[in-house]
Structure 1
Amino acid sequence: MLLKLVLLYLFLGLCQSRQEVVGGDFPSQGVIYPLKGSTNNLYKGEVYSDLHLQENHQLQVQRFLREPPDQTAKIGEQVTLPCRVENKKGKLQWTRDDFGLGQGRDLTGFDRYEMTGSDQEGDYTLNIFPVQLEDNAVFQCQVGAARGIAPIRSRYATLTVTVPPEPPVILNGEVLKVTEDRLITVECVSKAGKPAAEITWLDSDNIPIHLDVETIVEVLEDGKRQNTISLLRRKARRSDNIRNLTCEAQNSAESIPSRATIQIHVEYAPHVTLQYQPHKLQDGETVTFKCSADANPSDVTYKWYLNNQILDGKTSKTLTLSPLNRTLHAAILKCAARNKIGRSEETHTLEVMYGPSWVVEPTDQAGQEREQVQLICLADSNPNPRYSWFKDGDFDNIISSSSNLTVYLNLQAQGRYTCRVSVKGFSGLERSAQVLIKGKYLRNFLSPNFSSKSD
């Protein structure tokens, strides 16, 4: 009798346990928690006796044929998360961040979600269209317990939603005015990208700029999107004037980057160059100098200086000197140009070509036999003159090519010496002088311009 009572008690407990398994449905929405310490993914409230475990072992087990993989999608695109189940017995639902989406295929309350496929095929694929930022989450396909069959859960599938950043904006405006050699900071912002936009700076030749660039990333309140701020610091140069700087922003959600451009206007003091015509300056001719000033702003005033003395009334960009003469050779001409930014100047040393003129002419010389006398022949010209010495009218035989001629006195050395001065492009000079031995030979060779000390 006692044995019958024990068996009856076990039978009633078994019926109660099976009733709990059959009634173990998912909540319409919410988180499903496994039992603490559970190793077989049983849901709360699902209790199995040893007898159930024996029966479950004998029944066919429900399992996944296909589980959802991790995916990345751009906002607005369509995503398909596959889920195929073999021998499905329990009720199936999808979860997003462990929040149940409902057990029916219509997924009421989630208009962008649809469970496709058929029960016959065991296909419970989840389609999401269009993808929104809130879909950036982890998804899981879950199948609940049935009579004698344990519940199962797929792997977590991470859906990463990318968002194109807003087009970049350069906060300095469309035009930046700056003075040469000043340090400038150009700021470009691209907002609300996921992931954060990568910003690249390009010069006017579309060459990337890598130096002196600082990047700052700010996370928005939603914790998902980010603003990117890029600061370009550089010294303004004259060559940057009327040239562009381009900010290019892009993240993985875009195939083509967006751009913003700013034009740099650099103001700078005049940079002066001197030009003149003709290029070869010659005595007696006229020359015109032109002072070219590259300046911004271009409102420039001019002043001219000769050997640091201002030339009164000369305030245009051209200067004419006429006629040129030898006194202007090696003179320093200077043009000074000024605008509101500053002043600069350029100098030129004049090189005037002119013919020879006497500095020292050769004169008659006399001395004792075996002494030496010196004949000096010196002229000024540009280019430098060439000297040629001849004796006794023999102009086919040059005896010296220096300006000074030293003669050692003997009977053969006496005679008439001629110095010729020549400069290419100009008329030459020529002077002669007598060289004599004092004493008995002197009176035979005296020339009208001869002078010497008495014996």
Structure 2
Amino acid sequence: GGGRGTNLLLIFAQTRFVEEPEDQTVVAGQRIVLSCVVLNYSGIVQWTKDGLALGMGQGLKAWPRYRIVGTADSGQYNLEITDAELSDDAVYECQATEAALRSRRARLTVLIPPEDPTIDGAPEILLRAGTPYNLTCRARSAKPAATIVWYRDGLQQDGAVTSTVLADGKRETTTSQLGINPTDLDIGRVFSCRSVNDAIPAGKETFVKLNVHHPPTVTLSIQPQTVQEGERVVFTCMATANPEIKGYRWAKGGVVIEEAKENKYETQVDYSFFTEPVSCEVHNDIGSTNVSTLVDVHFAPRIVVDPKPTTTDIGSDVTLTCVWSGNPPLTLTWTKKESNMVLSNSNQLYLKSVTQADAGQYVCKAIVPRIGVGEREVTLFVNGPPIISSEAVQYAARGDRGKVECFIGSTPPPDRIAWAWKENILEAGTLERYTVERTNTGSGVLSTLTINNVMDADFQTRYNCTAWNSFGPGTAIIQLDEKGTGGLGRLGPLRELPGFGGR
């Protein structure tokens, strides 16, 4: 053959990555494989973690959970990590050192579930009613930080959350506080706290049970609810308390009832139970609770404010006051004695610009329907000039001792009284056959003109009685008639009739 040369074509195929590691997220305890496949390469392949070489072959022994897996002939240098933990959380790179090739950087994120959540004071917390309290739940050492959710009887509640980063700079402890204001209704109530993060999406839950100390809760009832005076009633004091009830104390109108020591008190009631409440006080180690009630006692009118006799001047305004109590509610009337005309239906009778005709006795009357009646009388005195309330015609028998009377019942009493007839004037003492005397009776002043040995001429005379006080004079003209004439003239024989005297 000819001297042909053989051309050797040497093809240096380029070294390159077929597979490079990718970012991965893993839960602590799981296994991961980071991929690294190199083509056309026969040199050393090594991994770096956060920039530090992990070593080759025997050198990898420092990392007992790490190994290179795959077929080297096929260029597979995958890094397997078993039982992942926080220290594996880093950036990894695969390097073909002799070809000066580096893979892309891959971040391995290791998720760590929180430790089992804990509630401070669990499993049972003792609280005091009315004293606010913060329930505290902690989810420790989680990556990422856990979220905490509270539940009260299965209903979600919002707490106040704070997180703190641990010394490793990666894990966090989360604390959530749920404010509550406990009441006696919270005894035995269960709150739960659930912590969740990406490592444990289903979460973990823990519980706490409340025990609440509170002063007694009390209700007071009466049986029967409506009674007549003199009937018996039973008061019942129903109470719950935590801790237990230590005792009962009963009082009426603030005065302790010594004989009542239990949760029931039976007694006979009178009108006073309508205005003086019966109270039951229950105590335990936490405190005491006092509840009270009035009794619907039906009773006849009882005077509360007695009307007072009143003296006033003519022309002034007057208020008379009379207060009754009764149950059921009473009706009240003011009348003037001897009259049925109702002047007022309230506690007060108001008389405007009084005259002497308004003087007299007034009646204040209270009625409790079907139960009873009460009434009071009161006198109104109206100061003015004297009013003479004597008969205009008076009688005497001839030959007897006769009397002409002048009575003044008005106020103020007269300072002086004078009698005048014919040309005589006499205030007191004796003049010939005539004597004047003044007497004070319970209801006024009586001036009497006594005539000794009554004669015909005495019947022809008009007697003027004038009385004075600081308001002025009052006058009456009185005529003396012969007793027993019956207005038919003076018949002789009738003279012998015995004298009757008086006005």
Give the match for residue 240 of structure 2.
294
Residue 200 of structure 2 aligns to a residue whose secondary structure is coil
Give the match for residue 32 of structure 2.
79
Give the match for residue 164 of structure 1.
113
Cα distance in 2, alignment partners of residues 414 and 178 from structure 1? 73
1:382 correspondence with 2:331: no
Cα distance in 2, alignment partners of residues 253 and 442 from structure 1? 123
Of the candidates 140, 144, 150, which is equivalent to residue 97 of structure 2? 144
Residue 256 of structure 1 aligns to a residue whose secondary structure is strand
Higher-Rg member (1/2): 2
Residue 328 of structure 1 aligns to a residue whose secondary structure is helix
- Whichever residue aligns with residue 208 of structure 1, its letter is Q
Give the match for residue 453 of structure 1.
444
Cα distance in 2, alignment partners of residues 296 and 364 from structure 1? 60
Give the match for residue 288 of structure 2.
343
**What are structure 2's unaligned runs of at least 5 residues?**
1-10, 382-386, 394-440, 447-503
Instruction: Give 1:298 shift.
Output: 1.8
Give the match for residue 20 of structure 2.
67
The answer on whether the counterparts of 2:114 and 2:139 sit within 8 Å (CA) in structure 1 is yes
Instruction: Give 1:73 shift.
Output: 0.9
Instruction: Give 1:277 shift.
Output: 3.4
Of the candidates 259, 264, 267, which is equivalent to residue 205 of structure 2? 259
1:99 correspondence with 2:90: no
Instruction: Give 1:202 shift.
Output: 4.4
Give the match for residue 389 of structure 2.
439
- Whichever residue aligns with residue 81 of structure 1, its letter is L
- Whichever residue aligns with residue 324 of structure 2, its letter is D
The answer on whether the counterparts of 1:194 and 1:226 sit within 8 Å (CA) in structure 2 is yes
TM-score scaled by structure 2?
A: 0.57
Instruction: Give 1:152 shift.
Output: 0.9
- Whichever residue aligns with residue 386 of structure 1, its letter is T
1:328 correspondence with 2:270: no
Residue 257 of structure 1 aligns to a residue whose secondary structure is strand
CA pair 336-196 structure 1, distance change in 2 beyond 3 A: same
RMSD over aligned Cα, in angstroms?
A: 5.1
**What are structure 1's unaligned runs of at least 5 residues?**
1-57, 444-449
The answer on whether the counterparts of 1:248 and 1:257 sit within 8 Å (CA) in structure 2 is yes
The answer on whether the counterparts of 2:226 and 2:295 sit within 8 Å (CA) in structure 1 is no
The answer on whether the counterparts of 1:214 and 1:232 sit within 8 Å (CA) in structure 2 is no
Cα distance in 1, alignment partners of residues 317 and 445 from structure 2? 16
For each residue in 1:324-358, what CA deviation from the matched residue of structure 2 results, as whole angstroms up to 9, or x when unmatched? 22233422433222223333433445564422246
CA pair 203-226 structure 1, distance change in 2 beyond 3 A: same
CA pair 124-319 structure 1, distance change in 2 beyond 3 A: same
Instruction: Give 1:71 shift.
Output: 1.9
CA pair 410-199 structure 1, distance change in 2 beyond 3 A: closer
Instruction: Give 1:263 shift.
Output: 1.7
Give the match for residue 312 of structure 1.
258
Cα distance in 2, alignment partners of residues 354 and 205 from structure 1? 56
Give the match for residue 154 of structure 1.
103
Instruction: Give 1:315 shift.
Output: 0.5
Cα distance in 1, alignment partners of residues 181 and 271 from structure 2? 47
The answer on whether the counterparts of 2:159 and 2:177 sit within 8 Å (CA) in structure 1 is no
- Whichever residue aligns with residue 277 of structure 1, its letter is Q
CA pair 193-287 structure 1, distance change in 2 beyond 3 A: same
Give the match for residue 14 of structure 1.
none
- Whichever residue aligns with residue 439 of structure 1, its letter is S
CA pair 415-172 structure 1, distance change in 2 beyond 3 A: closer
Residue 201 of structure 2 aligns to a residue whose secondary structure is coil
Q: Which is bigger in relative contact order (C-alpha 8 A, separation at least 6)?
A: 1
* Identity, % of aligned positions: 27
CA pair 374-343 structure 1, distance change in 2 beyond 3 A: closer
The answer on whether the counterparts of 1:274 and 1:348 sit within 8 Å (CA) in structure 2 is yes
Cα distance in 2, alignment partners of residues 265 and 161 from structure 1? 41
Instruction: Give 1:363 shift.
Output: 12
TM-score scaled by structure 1?
A: 0.62
Cα distance in 2, alignment partners of residues 281 and 238 from structure 1? 35
Of the candidates 221, 236, 255, which is equivalent to residue 275 of structure 1? 221
Of the candidates 354, 367, 370, which is equivalent to residue 422 of structure 1? 367
- Whichever residue aligns with residue 284 of structure 2, its letter is N
- Whichever residue aligns with residue 159 of structure 2, its letter is H
- Determine which structure has the larger strand proportion and give its number: 2
